[in-house]
Each structure stands twice: as C-alpha cells, then as structure tokens.
Structure 1
Amino acid sequence: MSDTNTDWPSSLDDSELDELDTYLRAHAQDGHLLLDGVHGLLSALTVGPVQVLPDEWLPEVLHDPFVDEEEGNRVLALLAKLNDSISAELDVDAYEPILGEVDTEAGPALSAAGWCEGFSRGIDLRASLWEKRLADDASLMETLGPVMALAVDEGILSAEAEFEKLTDEEYDDCLAQLPAVLAAVSQYWAEHPATEAELDALHRATETRDEPQQPPRQRSGHWVH
C-alpha cells in the first residue's frame, strides 16, 4: 500500500485483521465464514445491485451472542471498518482480496475457496436480482468469469458442463483479475441499475425467503492479506 493511502480512516492494519481473524476462528463452527469468506461476502455486497444493511449481513458472519459487551463493540467496529475499506480500496484501485492459505505437497499456497464461498453468499442475499441479470445479460456473466472459474475449481459452484481443473497459472491469473472484476461489476450495476419490476420481485422474494442452508464444506486455511 502506498504512503498516499495510509491515512484511510476505513483501512484495517495487520493487527486489526489478526484480531478479527482470531475472533472469527474462535467462534467458527462447520460452515461458518472465516475472515477470507467475510471479505468475499462484503465484497459482493459492495459491488452489488442494491444496498444490504448490516442487520441483514451480520447474521451471516456472527452466530453467537457476545458474552462481553466491550468485545462485541470491538468486533462490530472492525467488521464495519472492513466493510468500508472495500469501497475505499476499489475507488483508488488498491483492492486486494483476503485469501486463505492451504498446505500442498509443494508447500503453502493461496486459496480462493473461502473468498468465493463468501462472495457466493453475498450474491444469495440478493439472488433474484443477480440470477435474472445473469440469465438475461451475457456480459455480466462474462465479467464474472474469473470469479466463476475459481468458484467452480474450488467446488463452491457446480459446472453445467465438464470442467477441467485450472492450472496453477490459470488459477493465479484469475486471482490477479479479481480487483478488476469487482470494479467492472460495480460499474455494471451503476450503469444498469435494478428496474422497478426487479425491485418488486426482490421485495417479494425477501419476504418469503427461507433460512439459508449451511454450505456443505468448511473454510480452511489462514487469512493472507
């Protein structure tokens, strides 16, 4: 990060990321998002079609009541700061996804599994809008291509056709494209906002939405910023 951006009030430093990561790990159960997943979730909401308030996304992140009020206020402040940092970083072309780290035969490697899981859940919170546009507008699907490729590769999404695993080079290339993808998706929704009919359908879907199902796999690895 350059010196010109170190005074961002919304940026989390490494110690704050560590603090939030530690809290989430200490309270994580099977299927809960860790820090990389939370970052993916908030990234999807930031660039999505309509605003999603904390009252709606916090239950995707926090699952137990706070035992200590001071700790609770601290965690909420860190989550708010993380959320704010995404749009700030996108505005100055400095966004970096928080990724997981997994052990491989060749040593530690970055993994987008948790980030993609969170991004998928962010889309799910406004599923009716996303699904209609993805079905009707091929350009949005094409823009999301690198995210989709990573998500399929990690087993977060299932592919309709047979899908070959990404090579290491292809995987790294998709990771490198994530900042540009998010910027393009944000621009897409700014230029093609949800229509009144789509918003009406969203309102009806939100009113009747069932409780979200737990995902089939747990996030793993450490956050890497």
Structure 2
Amino acid sequence: MVADWPSSPSDSDLEELDRFLRTHAKEEDLLLDGVHGFLTALAIGPTPAKPEEWLPEILHEPFADADEGERVLTLLARLNDAIAPELETGTYEPILGELEMDEGHPAFTARGWCEGFSRGIDLRAPSWEGRLGNDSELMELLGPIIALAIDDGVFESDAEFAPLGEDDYDECLAQIPQAVGAVADYWRDHPLSAEEQAAPRDEGSLTPPRRRGGRWVH
C-alpha cells in the first residue's frame, strides 16, 4: 500500500501565504523563503519541534478572525508537512528569493532561505553546535549552505572567505537539495546521545540573523 503522504503546497497556496506574511511582516520577520528555510532546518535536525515551538517564530500578530487563522495555519502545516516527503522522494526544492538586477534580469538569492535556516538551527542550538564542534562531517555536509549564508551576510565568520562568483553561487544553490538530504540522513544515522540531549542551552551562542531582501520564487 502506497503511503498517503501530504502533497506539496500548490503555487496558489504559496502565493496566498506569501501575501499574508508580507502584509504582516515587520523589519526582522521571516517571509516565505525564510519560513521554508526555518522549517527545513527543524525537519532535518536532531530533534523535531512541535508547532507551539515554531509558530511563534513566524506569526507575531493576532489573526483578523477565525477563518483567517484556520487558513494560515493550514497553509503553514501544508508547507511544513511536505518537507520530509519531498526529501524522501527527491523532489525537495528550496523556496528562493528573486532580486532585480541592473541589467533587468532577475537573479535567485538564498539569503532569506539561509536566514530562516539559521533560525531553525538556533532553536536547537546546543545540539547543532555541540555536534558541529566534534564532527567535521556535519560541517562538510552543510558546506554549500554555509557558503551561501556567509556570502549573503547571514552568517559571520572569523575566517576570510572570498566572495562567491556568479557561477559558484549558482552551483551552491543547485546543491541545496542534496545538502539538505545529506544532513537529514546524518541526523537519522547519528542521533543525539543522552549526554547531548541533556546539554543546557546557551542563549547567546548564535549571531542573530540579518535582514534579507528579495521576493519569493518557487
């Protein structure tokens, strides 16, 4: 019997959610690309997060009415619940931003997605940081995402990194699905030990994400 997995959100679903988030977004709030990166980090990370943990990171104002609330929560659940099946079937794609260039041609940017991904890591900071400090394999798997995040100013690094060229940036974008899948496999194959699960959280351990620009494109 074929598993009854949730389908990915339709383009109209994404457009509706994008409009809602943009209408209610303040300076540092996540937009659709950031929400997708945020939920992705939680979906592939060391321990699952319940909606009551991640919804406050996305929604910051009361809904206009019950109907709006039900609809927005449904769209967010659909976006979240589709990530694992998409990884399982090899159909996962990050929701990226699109920037208008001087030449008039749009360019994709992972800045918003990476910012959301960083916030997802921050929600489980002790687990991620403890493992990253002791296992270079995880850092290597995150390589394309880290490169994009540093290039777009989402992550800060003490080491000096040359800016990515256009071809290198596009190559890193293309590697996001593979990197996300590999990290998901890593945490499944190397779960947290009892000692790691008991590690206290260091609230000031991660650099706060920076504001991003662009608009979403699926």
Question: TM-score interval w.r.t. the shorter chain?
Answer: over 0.9
1:94-113 residue CA offsets vs partner (Å, 9 max, x unmatched)? 00000001122232110100
The equivalent of 2:196 in structure 1 is 198
Structure 2 match to 1:4: none
**Structure 1 residues 26, 213: closer, same or farther in 2, change over 3 A?**
farther
State how 1:146-225 maps to structure 2 within 5 Å.
Answer: 146-201=144-199, 204-205=200-201, 209=203, 215-217=209-211, 219-225=212-218
1:26 matches 2:19: no
* Matching residue of 2:110: 112
> Deviation of residue 220 (structure 1)?
1.9
Q: How many residues align?
A: 213
For 1:133, the equivalent position in structure 2 comes to 131
Query: How far 1:162 sits from its partner (Å)?
Result: 1.4
Measure how far apart 1:215 and its partner are.
Answer: 3.8
Residue in structure 2 matched with residue 3 of structure 1 by the alignment: none
Q: CA, structure 1 residues 147+214, in 2 after alignment: closer, same or farther (shift >3 Å)?
A: closer
Q: Secondary structure at the match of 1:223?
A: strand
Distance between the aligned counterparts of 1:131 and 1:142, measured in 2? 14
- Counterpart amino acid of 1:121? R
Deviation at 1:82, TM superposition (A): 0.1
1:35 maps onto 2:32 in alignment: yes
TM-score, structure 1 as length reference: 0.90
Task: Tell me the equivalent position of 1:102.
Answer: 99
Q: Secondary structure at the match of 2:215?
A: coil
**C-alpha contact (below 8 Å) 2:100/2:106 kept by paired residues:** yes
Structure 2: 5+ residue runs without aligned partners?
A: none
CA distance in 2, matches of 1:32, 1:80: 18
Partner of 1:69: 66
Residues in 1 aligned to 2:153 and 2:203: alpha-carbon distance in whole angstroms:
25
Hey, what's the Cα distance between the residues in 2 that align with 1:147 and 1:184? 12
1: CA distance, partners of 2:30 / 2:171 = 24
2:17 and 2:154 mapped to 1: Cα distance? 24
Q: Do the aligned partners of 1:39 and 1:115 also contact (CA within 8 Å) in 2? A: yes
Of the three residues 46, 50, 56, the one matched with 2:53 is 56
% same residue: 56
Partner SS for 1:21? helix
TM-score with structure 2 length normalisation? Answer: 0.93
Letter in 2 for 1:27: H
SS in 1 for 2:156: coil
RMSD of aligned residue pairs (Cα, Å): 1.7
What amino acid does structure 2 have at the position aligned with 1:224?
Answer: V
Contact 1:116-1:151 at 8 Å conserved across structures: yes
Asked whether 1:14 is paired with 2:11, we answer yes
Is the partner of 2:106 in helix, strand or coil? strand
Whether the 8 Å CA contact 1:10–1:82 is kept in 2: the answer is no
Contact 1:102–1:221 (8 Å) recurs in 2 = yes
Q: Aligned with 2:214: secondary structure?
A: coil
